[in-house]
Amino acid sequence: MDFMPGADVSLAGLLAASFLSATVLPGGSEAVLLAVLLAHPEQRDTALLLATVGNTAGGMVSYAMGRFIPRKELPGRLALVQRHGTPALLLSWVPLIGDALCIAAGWLRLPPLRSAFMMALGKGARYALIAGIVT
């Protein structure tokens, strides 16, 4: 990974934005990714990697939060995650329901590494699609 002057700050901002937008905090990492890609198209692969890593890490924070919820307190609307297990986390990028899926995965005590992998696949595919449209 070659970092270029000026791109360093943009990439760090992208990492932070993608992390925060995957937690229960509001945010739009897609707009930040677009800005980085338009300003530094030569950093496409690095930007995709950092956005995916940041967003997956944020999803795992939500997963960890779910682990702390006592089993009897979470509502019964977890059919998707209960039925499909970790593959349901391929949809963790979807606004509004993605956070709930990650929290539900933690609450259901799904395997953390497999959960992170499925989150990364879904989130990475979304970012790659966005990058493919721009570049």
- CB neighbour list of residue 68: distance below 8 Å, 6 or more residues apart: 106
63 in Cβ contact with 103 (< 8 Å): yes
C-alpha 64/C-alpha 6 separation (Å) is 34
pLDDT, tens digit (0-9, with 9 covering 90-100), for 16-30: 999 988 876 767 888
Question: Model's pTM, two decimal places?
Answer: 0.85
pLDDT, tens digit (0-9, with 9 covering 90-100), for 101-134: 999 999 999 999 999 999 999 999 999 999 998 8
pLDDT, position 96? 80
pLDDT, position 3? 47
Return the CA Rg of the chain: 15
Greatest Cα pair distance, the chain, in angstroms, is: 51
Tokens linked to 117: 């992998």
- Average pLDDT over the chain reads 86
C-alpha 124/C-alpha 116 separation (Å) is 12
pLDDT, tens digit (0-9, with 9 covering 90-100), for 75-88: 555 667 778 889 99
C-alpha 102/C-alpha 80 separation (Å) is 12
130 in Cβ contact with 33 (< 8 Å): yes
